[in-house]
Amino acid sequence: MPMDTIIAPGRMAFIKAEKPNGCIFCRDSARERDLVLYEGTDCYVIMNKYPYTSGHLLVTPFRHVCTIEGLQMKEKIEMMELTAACVKTLKKAFNPEGFNIGMNLGRVAGAGVDDHLHIHIVPRWLGDTNFSTVLGEVRVIPEDLATTRNTLLQYFLRGEEG
């Protein structure tokens, strides 16, 4: 069987770049502030740097915590409120036909970052898993992160997120 080749020139910058020290989700650590869409009191909304689809968002507490049982009640409440706000915003901005919403708790459950709890909000459209995903185990993201951010940010800045 011949080997498939996918060229992704943007990955080389990531491979060669110095990796951040600290947690990529903690408020004063290594999080990428240009991906943050909204900051609440105890939690915030950030775009997934490596999305499953355009508009893939994450809701996470500022505090470094990795378990549901470790969350304070105010964090649990705000995480759910922000998750609902993300769904509302994504519906307005991109008109998805459905959503996948969830958490991967622990590395064996698929958590890429298993030491800081976060909720994934993934908008879905009929046919968004095309032949590349099914046959090649590759995701095709139809829009660059900056364009997606600019689309979503206008809703968050206007206070339409919730």
Buried b (16+ CB within 10 A) or exposed e, 46-68: bbbeebbbbbbbbbbbbbbbbee
Which residues have a catalytic role annotated? 118
Take residue 40 and report the two structure tokens written for it: 């609440």
Nearest residue to 59 (alpha-carbon basis) of 30, 31, 38, 28: 38
User: Which residues, 6+ apart, have CB-to-CB distance to 42 below 8 Å?
Assistant: 61, 62, 63, 72, 74, 75, 78
Coil, helix or strand at residue 81: helix
Q: Assess contact for 119 and 48: CB atoms under 8 A.
A: no
For residues 42 and 78, the answer to whether their CB atoms sit within 8 Å is yes
